[in-house]
Amino acid sequence: MRKIYVPTSGPQCWQALLADPITHWRTGYSARTLAHCWEAAEGLPPEIAALFGPDSELLIAIPEHRVSLRDNGRESQTDVFALVKSRNRTVAVAIEGKVNESFGPTIQDWYVEPSPRKQQRLEFLCDLIGIKCPPPDHLHYQLFHRTASALLEAERFKTDDAAVIVHSFSPENKWFDAYAAFLGLLGLSAAPGQLTSKQLLERTIYFGWAEGDPRFLLA
């Protein structure tokens, strides 16, 4: 995991950070759309700021931020990791950009005949989130490791709270049901444009679904 970062000069700087800079950088898809949206905002995009309140402030945003899950496996690559100040508290925020893309494989698909390393990872994620392992098969694995990323970085940066925000540019809010099902496991209800929260040990973790400006789909 790299620990030296440099400022961007525009959306094009985000492309080189992608796992596949050619395939993933396409008009109308989440990586390019998210980059143009965040660069244009010069701070928090308004739909993200609306979740955290009128006094919210972006302290720093890091595109394609990789978070170690404390094993030798693949890191969790967060579309945007941000430190946000809100209500006199600092929040470590993992942003997951979406248009029509899914949240990847379900637990059922990812956990087929699991290796010891996969078993260890899933147990770690579930323990961190505070749920029983293994979780229900129909839930999406990406939401587990993205939530873990927010919590781990909150611990590493010693922030007050953590948050996972889905920044969706889908006019139909595609895959919202998958997000809502994951929150249901945590005993939470989901609604677009609203934050919901859960207390985990010494921190509160927030979840939100932000509806992005569709004009960036054409950027």
In the predicted structure, residue 111 carries a pLDDT above the cut 90: yes
- Reported as a single tens digit per residue, the pLDDT across 82-107 is 999 999 999 999 999 999 999 999 99
- Reported as a single tens digit per residue, the pLDDT across 50-76 is 999 999 999 999 999 999 998 888 899
- Residues with Cβ < 8 Å from 194, sequence gap 6 or more? 51, 208, 209
- Is residue 148, in this structure, part of any structural domain at all? yes
Contact 198, 188 (CB under 8 A): yes
- Is residue 109, in this structure, part of any structural domain at all? yes
* Predicted pLDDT at 202: 85
The pLDDT-based confidence of 2 (bands split at 50, 70, 90) is confident
Contact 159, 90 (CB under 8 A): yes
- Is residue 2, in this structure, part of any structural domain at all? no
- Measured distance CA(69)–CA(155) in Å, rounded: 13
In the predicted structure, residue 201 carries a pLDDT above the cut 80: no
Containing domain of residue 73, as a range? 12-218
- Is residue 1, in this structure, part of any structural domain at all? no
- Is residue 6, in this structure, part of any structural domain at all? no
- Is residue 39, in this structure, part of any structural domain at all? yes
* Predicted pLDDT at 184: 98
Q: Averaged over 114-139, what is the pLDDT?
A: 96
In the predicted structure, residue 215 carries a pLDDT above the cut 90: yes
Structural domains of the chain, count: 1
Encoded tokens for 137: 């098969």
**pTM of the predicted protein model:** 0.96
- Reported as a single tens digit per residue, the pLDDT across 152-190 is 999 999 999 999 999 999 999 999 999 999 999 999 999
Angle (CA) 69-153-179 rounded to 5° is 75
- Is residue 7, in this structure, part of any structural domain at all? no
